Copies of this chain bind each other. A is one copy, B any other.
Amino acid sequence: MGWGDLGAFGEPSKETPNLDQMASEGMLFLDFYTANPLCSPSRAALLTGRLPVRNGFYTTNAHARNAYTPQDIVGGIPDSELLLPELLKKAGYVNKIIGKWHLGHRPQFHPLKHGFDEWFGSPNCHFGPFDNRALPNIPVYRDWEMIGRYYEDFKIDLKTGEANLTQIYLQEALDFISKQQASQQPFFLYWAIDATHAPVYASKHFLGTSQRGLYGDAVREIDDSIGKILKHLQNLGISGNTFVFFTSDNGAALISAPKQGGSNGRFLCGKQTTFEGGMREPAIAWWPGRIPAGGVSHQLGNVMDLFTTSLSLAGLQPPSDRQIDGIDLLPAILQGKLIDRPIFYYRGNEMMAVRVGLYKAHYWTWSNSWEEYSKGIDFCPGQNVSGVTTHTQEEHTTLPLLFHLGRDPGEKYPLSFASDEYQRAMDRISVVVQQHQATMVPGEPQLNVCDKAVMNWSPPGCEKLGKCLKPPKSDPRKCFWPH
């Protein structure tokens, strides 16, 4: 989902009454970011509080390449990483993930091995394969075992876009919350729905209800579900001690537009890029009675902050034996403070850009290669900013391209290198970048090796269902990451 997909963020159809109300009862973050313009690394960053380049969710197969966890990925979340649910357990929390995990699908990466107590959802994205013959369809797990596969047992009609998955995920959420409330357990629910990822889907009740087409139907169903979850918390009388945060893992995938793609508002480009459209996210914090209603924050935030903030809420300290990139947002949320901190925009193993205050400096620019672009893969459709949305990787490390995101949120007008303003801003930014790079210890890259043998051929539970498939011979090779 993109920054511009909610009514509260200016979507012209204004079809998200529940999220808009969540914002009016809570706090809207206008300058909130994901840690990566792609799904898996963002989610790994959210759960570890660390940049993907630290937690291993990146590739060194080529320079500045986006990588994730398709079915043939060999890697996943390393055991050495401490995940939010692992830490929350120490404070007695019961942890559940509903939806997409995306931190590796081999046995050692299973979410229940990394702190979650319950899981309902899938290890990989719900896009292809769709026939479960040449390649296994993605399994859907309940806790330790597969209970079926997408397209076979959990239908997504690729023609109509109909699927009732969001309704299933909603019911799972409501039931989990009820159960914890009944047993007076503190809980952490990671509700990782994926209806807005192509192939986009919505359940029958929502199909055809949006001005925006199928993508809008999916957004409306998510919006409706979030309204029901918040209402449920209120009905159970626990909204006063439940912190809820809504955000997304990357900007809208403009390559899927217009039928399956969302909106990044007026920001440049989308998913896969380190322009604002790829990484600035809608974000809302909600905690009635604690967060002032109708608040608006310009705090530079990041999904990694949800790690540290959640620990803080549970009275826990973040681990001190490693670099944590997330900060505790509670002073910003509860007291309206503004904490000075940078935002780093990575693509794979490269820091492409950094934001300090309202300034954003691009050290590298790239949308995608001419080769991919010539095939019709366009991450910036209808947009073309000369020297910025480049189709070759352009290095600007000696003289970064600098934008003022207040005057120029669309990253169209680089500041003059000769201006005083450029010099003043870069003086400040350079210190931040030097310090960041000098202390950077990259983790072991997890997204380098692919092997068809590791796909979801025979997930645990497949025997009972008669759904075990025979893997091919192992043939590990370097994953190919074109972007």
A contacts, CB < 8 Å to B: 4, 7, 9-14, 28, 30-31, 210-213, 215-216, 257-259, 263-266, 268, 296, 298, 358, 381-385, 404-410, 412-413
Contact = CB atoms under 8 A, between A and B. Distances in A.
Contact of A382 (B7, B10, B30, B412): B412
A413 B298 CA distance: 33
Interface of A is mostly: loop
Contacts of A384: 382-384
A215 B407 CA distance: 8
B12 A265 contact: yes
B12 A407 contact: no
30 contacts: A4-B10, A4-B266, A9-B10, A12-B30, A12-B31, A13-B30, A13-B298, A14-B28, A210-B406, A211-B298, A211-B358, A211-B406, A212-B407, A213-B407, A216-B407, A257-B408, A258-B407, A258-B408, A258-B413, A259-B407, A263-B409, A265-B265, A268-B382, A381-B412, A382-B384, A382-B385, A382-B412, A383-B383, A383-B384, A384-B384
Contacts of A408: 257-258
Chain multiplicity (copies): 2
Given A13-B30, A14-B296, 6 more contacts: A4-B10, A7-B296, A12-B30, A12-B409, A13-B406, A212-B406
Contacts of A268: 382
The 4 residue pairs across chains A and B that have the minimum distance between CB atoms: A10-B10, A211-B406, A213-B407, A382-B412
A406 B30 contact: no
Contact of A10 (B11, B215, B385): B11
Contacts of A28: 14
Contacts of A298: 13, 211
A413 B257 contact: yes
Contacts of A216: 406-407
